Amino acid sequence: MSSSSVFSSQNKAAILAQALPYIRQFHGKTMVIKYGGNAMTEPALQRAFAEDVVLLKLVGINPVVVHGGGPQIETALKRLGKKGEFVQGMRVTDAETMEVVEWVLAGEVQQDIVGLINQAGGKAVGLTGRDGGMIRAKTLNPELGQVGDITAIDPSVVKALQDDQFIPVISPIGFGEANESYNINADVVAARLAMVLQAEKLLMLSNIPGVLDKQGQLLTELTMKRIDELTADGTISGGMIPKIAGAVDAARSGVNAVHIIDGRVPHAMLLEILTGDAYGTMIRSH
């Protein structure tokens, strides 16, 4: 055996040994994963994500995937000649747009993810907030139409699937009192689901390395106090504010840690969970 192959074998053994305490620590625990951005649209990253989810399940961790689909919705609306309209960064969703949102998220996008996970050796099941009466919602703002604000989450269908070796893949669609559908922000759904499931971790795959300081350096760990300071001085701004707000709510509600991870790095999620290295920003609950 050549010295290089011995080295690579030892390397692999070292990596596996490093993962062992983390596997032991998180065995039987639930992790909610918000899946979006590049990780969701680039084929190599899609495959890496699916493999990571399956590996987590195989080592006894319970992954629950919540996905977005903004770019895919935009593409579908353009094909129909419908122009997306936004108020304060949120899509105005009339009845026709809501139909498109439902068939893109619960049809095309969700089934792609389910297929990728199954292809990687897992058993994924697609759900929307209607399944098992999971996500009840009401109008967030009349100007936005069928954009929803969560009123209640019943996680029993997710728990039943988890206990049966399945991996739930959830589209962020809720339903109202008159059985109407609502489009809900996927970050918000992931954060609320993590709270209700008392998840060990909430993992948010993003198109950024994590939270950066004013010099552009990655902040690998943040406390609540530090987040308040960074928001006050403008370091945390723009699209990062709602992401962080959801993360903070989850951390304050008993989710042990929230990770904002760079989804453009292959297997970043696995490396963040099962090694001591940082591939994003971790927000601790204490």
Annotated binding site: 69-70, 91, 183
Angle formed at CA 78 by CA 72 and CA 80, multiple of 5 degrees: 110
Q: What is the distance between the terminal CA atoms of the chain, rounded to a whole angstrom? A: 49
As beta bridge partners, residue 62 has 30
Binding-site positions for substrate read: 69-70, 91, 183
Question: Using CA atoms, how far apart are residues 176 and 163, in angstroms rounded to an integer?
Answer: 28
Q: Which helix (H) or strand (E) holds 257?
A: strand 257-262
Q: In Å, what is the CA distance from 236 to each residue of 210, 220, 227, 240, 254? A: 11, 14, 8, 6, 23
Q: Which residue has the tokens 């899509």?
A: 91
Strand partners, 205: 261
What's phi and psi for 143, nearest 5 deg? -60, -25
Burial class (CB in 10 A: 0-12, 13-18, 19+), 242: middle
d(C-alpha 238, C-alpha 285), whole Å: 23
